[in-house]
Amino acid sequence: MTKQELIRLIDIKKHYRVGTEVVKALQSINLTIYKNEYVALMGASGSGKSTLMNILGCLDTPTAGQYILANQDVSKLNDNELAEIRNKEIGFVFQTFNLLPRSSALENVVLPLIYAGQKKEERNARGVEVLNQVYLADRMAHKPNELSGGQRQRVSIARALVNNPSIILADEPTGNLDSKTSIEIMALFEEIHSLGNTIIVVTHEEEIARHAHRIIRLKDGLVETDEINSEIKKVEVIRSY
Length of the chain: 241
Cα separation values, 104 from 91, 121, 136, 208, Å: 19, 16, 12, 29
- Tell me, yes or no, whether 1 lies in a domain: no
- Tell me, yes or no, whether 45 lies in a domain: yes
Strands 90-94 and 167-171: parallel
> To which H or E segment does residue 171 belong?
strand 167-171
Asked if 18 and 46 touch (Cβ cutoff 8 Å), the reply is no
pLDDT tens, N- to C-terminus, the chain (241 residues): 678 999 999 999 999 998 899 999 999 999 999 999 999 999 988 899 999 999 999 999 999 999 999 999 999 899 999 999 998 899 999 999 999 999 999 999 999 999 888 899 999 999 999 999 999 999 999 999 999 999 999 999 999 999 999 999 999 999 999 999 999 999 999 999 999 999 999 999 999 999 999 999 999 999 999 999 999 988 865 554 4
> Which of 181, 189, 119, 137 shows the shortest CA–CA distance to 161?
189
pTM given for the model: 0.93
**Total number of domains constituting the chain:** 1
What are the helix (H) ranges across the chain? Answer: 49-56, 79-89, 105-109, 111-115, 120-133, 149-161, 179-194, 206-209
- Full strand arrangement of the beta sheet holding 72-73: 21-34, 5-18, 64-69, 72-73
Instruction: Report the alpha-carbon distance of residue 202 to residue 52 in Å, rounded.
Output: 10
DSSP-derived 3-state class of residue 78: coil
- Tell me, yes or no, whether 7 lies in a domain: no
Render pLDDT for 114-153 as a digit per residue (tens, 0 to 9): 988 889 999 999 999 999 999 999 999 999 999 999 999 9
User: What is the CATH classification number for the domain harbouring 211?
Assistant: 3.40.50.300
- Tell me, yes or no, whether 236 lies in a domain: no
- Tell me, yes or no, whether 23 lies in a domain: no
- Tell me, yes or no, whether 55 lies in a domain: yes
- Tell me, yes or no, whether 19 lies in a domain: no
Write out the residue range of the structural domain in which residue 160 sits: 36-61+78-228
Residue 196: phi and psi, rounded to 5, are: 115, 0
Cα separation values, 153 from 145, 150, 157, 168, Å: 12, 5, 6, 13
Cα separation values, 71 from 163, 196, 230, Å: 19, 19, 30
Instruction: Report the alpha-carbon distance of residue 149 to residue 191 in Å, rounded.
Output: 20
Q: Which residues are CB-neighbours of 192 under 8 A, at least 6 positions away? A: 133, 157, 161, 168, 199
- Tell me, yes or no, whether 184 lies in a domain: yes
DSSP-derived 3-state class of residue 212: coil
